[in-house]
């Protein structure tokens, strides 16, 4: 069947495939194109959407692309970098300035335009950029401006357009769920302005994915690394349905980085799903802890975990005499884009399923990934279409490297680079909200304007309501360069100093983290919050506050998200926080407890 289609030009932004996903959810086929594709590749589309990018339009970065697409007689919508490129091409001005990330209010100056049909005069949108459009060319006009939640100056020309050229631009990211009515904006563009008919469906995706698996695998079989999470479970069922159960072997690896009793629960889950006949289990915790011994750098840890997975896979495949099988993985799109898996994407953090040896196997056609184009919410939708039980689909997401990215490591050396500037600037930003800040002498991974930000967290102490805390966190991370994360002190007192302590990836530290994590999960269940909160990582940080003896800081990270590309911190009820204070601070070696109040961006969901 022929489908009307939209081309999404991927400039390497974090959300390019999310744009395609949003269009497909309208019922219209969307296909990813590369900026250097020949102009002939765009024939047959009803419209084009230009994605964001880690490049700076103001500096002329990533300017070598097929600009002949602007000559095509079809509507084009640009987002962030794409918005800036459209403005420039038609005589406008782009400057390096006005950086912002987080929620903003879009004030429509053309609420009557078809692009905004069905929207309010003021809409919540999501910003993440360093460059801004400062002027537009002939035939263009301002469709809207934004005001930020922290009282920063108005951001003019946040939405622009020209009906003469049929070119439109949004500085904000309409594709992320934090832009409340972004779906409606896309529908207006795709259905009304481009004139597409909605004939695409998830059922069509499943049928096409099964056929792709059959073509790729041929007469071979697949050996799937099955963590028991949502992604690997749905991938296992698609592979089973496409190839038959006798051609799909599952390997569950206990890497020593699992949650409390996790492997036992995973094996039971696959048996309940009828996937137990070809399920193999191996305790490889010694392999992983040996590979991680003495490491502190987050990227080195991720690479070591990914390489060890492959080594264990190869060893077990040889032992089971199935070494000729293709490797199956439950990779989803955020794993690829955050690893810099597209030509222009910046590496935010390397996922274990995207280390070099895996990339080599992919190039050789030895890897099968039926979910690689999807986000978590789409994976769950596929699982529901396949009839997988609710309990398997709605478990909290758990990263492939497991607690390996939630157990931070340090050699005990404080990282205070730039503190002469960071400390007073942070103090000035936090004081406005009645909070006392402590810039921590460690770093965590974040993302700002599609670029990796390995920067310092700030511990905030003091009494404040939830809205004030969120505004404070947003204000500090926007105003102070070098800060990408804010956490709120749940301990009994404010501390003026903090110092890292020596701590590596050991069984004792992982066991401590497992206990704290289990307390958090049980707490969420006891307060009927488990299904409401998308994910709640518990992070172990080798950091002593004040004059405390060497110990650990535990950070709770409850967030709401749908696709993992953006995330919003979730408020936990005071009685639950009181329970967690009593239980976690009572664990041996734990000297501090904090709540992560950072959105994504600028803080990634995981700390590493």
Q: Which residues are catalytic?
A: 80, 173, 175
| 340 Cβ neighbours under 8 A, 6+ residues apart | 346, 347, 348
Cis peptide before 602 (omega within 30 of 0): yes
506/289 Cα distance (integer angstroms): 7
Query: Radius of gyration over alpha carbons of the chain, in Å?
Result: 24
Compute the 3-state secondary structure of the chain and give helix, strand, coil in percent, each to the nearest 5.
35, 25, 40
312/352 Cα distance (integer angstroms): 13
Query: Do residues 567 and 560 make contact, with C-beta atoms less than 8 angstroms apart?
Result: yes
Instruction: Identify the CA nearest to 386 among candidates 375, 368, 371.
Output: 371
SS3 443: coil
Q: What DSSP assignment string belongs to 267-285?
A: HHHHHHTT--TTEEEEE-H
SS3 246: helix
Instruction: Identify the CA nearest to 34 among candidates 22, 51, 21, 18.
Output: 51
Query: Do residues 543 and 552 make contact, with C-beta atoms less than 8 angstroms apart?
Result: yes
Distances (CA, A) of 382 to 363, 371, 476: 26, 9, 39
């Amino acid at each position: 069947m022929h489908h009307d289609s939209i081309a999404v030009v991927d400039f390497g932004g974090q959300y390019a495939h999310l744009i395609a996903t949003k269009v497909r959810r309208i019922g219209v086929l969307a296909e990813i194109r590369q900026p250097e594709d020949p102009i002939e590749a765009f024939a047959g589309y009803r419209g084009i959407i230009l994605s964001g990018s880690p490049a700076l339009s103001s500096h002329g970065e990533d300017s070598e692309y097929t600009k002949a697409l602007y000559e095509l007689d079809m509507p084009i919508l640009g987002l962030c970098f794409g918005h800036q490129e459209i403005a420039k091409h038609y005589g406008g001005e782009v400057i390096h300035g006005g950086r912002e990330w987080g929620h903003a209010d879009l004030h429509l100056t053309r609420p009557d335009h078809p692009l905004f049909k069905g929207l309010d005069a003021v809409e919540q949108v999501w910003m993440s950029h360093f460059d801004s459009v400062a002027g537009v060319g002939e035939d263009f006009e301002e469709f809207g401006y934004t005001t930020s939640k922290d009282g920063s100056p108005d951001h003019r020309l946040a939405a622009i357009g020209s009906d003469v050229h049929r070119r439109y631009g949004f500085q904000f990211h309409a594709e992320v769920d934090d832009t409340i009515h972004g779906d409606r904006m896309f529908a207006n563009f795709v259905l009304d302005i481009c004139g597409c008919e909605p004939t695409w469906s998830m059922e069509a995706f499943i049928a096409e994915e099964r056929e792709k698996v059959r073509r790729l695998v041929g007469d071979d079989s697949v050996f799937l690394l099955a963590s028991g999470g949502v992604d690997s479970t749905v991938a296992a069922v698609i592979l089973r349905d496409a190839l038959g159960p006798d051609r799909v072997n599952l390997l569950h690896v206990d890497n020593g980085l699992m949650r409390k009793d996790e492997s036992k629960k995973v094996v039971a889950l696959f048996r309940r799903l009828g996937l137990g006949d070809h399920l193999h289990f191996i305790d490889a915790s010694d392999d992983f802890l040996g590979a991680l011994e003495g490491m502190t750098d987050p990227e080195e840890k991720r690479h070591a975990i990914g390489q060890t997975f492959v080594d264990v896979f190869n060893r077990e495949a040889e032992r089971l005499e199935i070494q000729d099988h293709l490797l199956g993985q439950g990779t989803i799109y955020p794993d690829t884009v955050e690893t810099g898996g597209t030509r222009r994407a910046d590496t935010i953090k390397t996922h274990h399923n995207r280390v070099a040896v895996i990339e080599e196997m992919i190039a050789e056609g030895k890897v099968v990934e039926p979910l690689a184009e999807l986000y978590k919410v789409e994976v769950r939708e596929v699982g529901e279409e396949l009839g997988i039980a609710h309990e398997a689909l709605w478990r909290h997401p758990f990263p492939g490297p497991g607690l390996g990215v939630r157990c931070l490591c340090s050699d005990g050396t404080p990282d205070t680079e730039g503190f002469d500037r960071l400390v007073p600037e942070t103090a000035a930003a936090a004081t406005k909200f009645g909070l006392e800040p402590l810039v921590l002498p460690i770093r965590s991974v974040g993302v700002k304007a599609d670029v990796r930000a390995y920067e310092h967290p700030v511990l905030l102490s003091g009494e404040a309501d939830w809205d004030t805390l969120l505004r404070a966190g947003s204000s500090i991370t926007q105003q102070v360069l070098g800060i990408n994360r804010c956490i709120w002190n749940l301990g009994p007192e404010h501390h003026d100093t903090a110092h890292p302590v020596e701590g590596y990836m050991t069984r004792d530290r992982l066991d401590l983290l497992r206990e704290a994590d289990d307390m958090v999960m049980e707490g969420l269940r006891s307060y009927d919050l488990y299904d409401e909160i998308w994910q709640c990582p518990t992070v172990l940080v080798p950091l002593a506050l004040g004059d405390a003896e060497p110990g650990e800081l535990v950070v709770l990270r409850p967030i709401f998200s749908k696709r993992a590309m953006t995330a919003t911190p979730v408020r936990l009820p005071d009685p639950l926080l009181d329970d967690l204070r009593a239980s976690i601070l009572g664990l041996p070696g734990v000297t501090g407890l904090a709540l992560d109040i950072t959105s994504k961006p600028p803080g990634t969901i995981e700390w590493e």
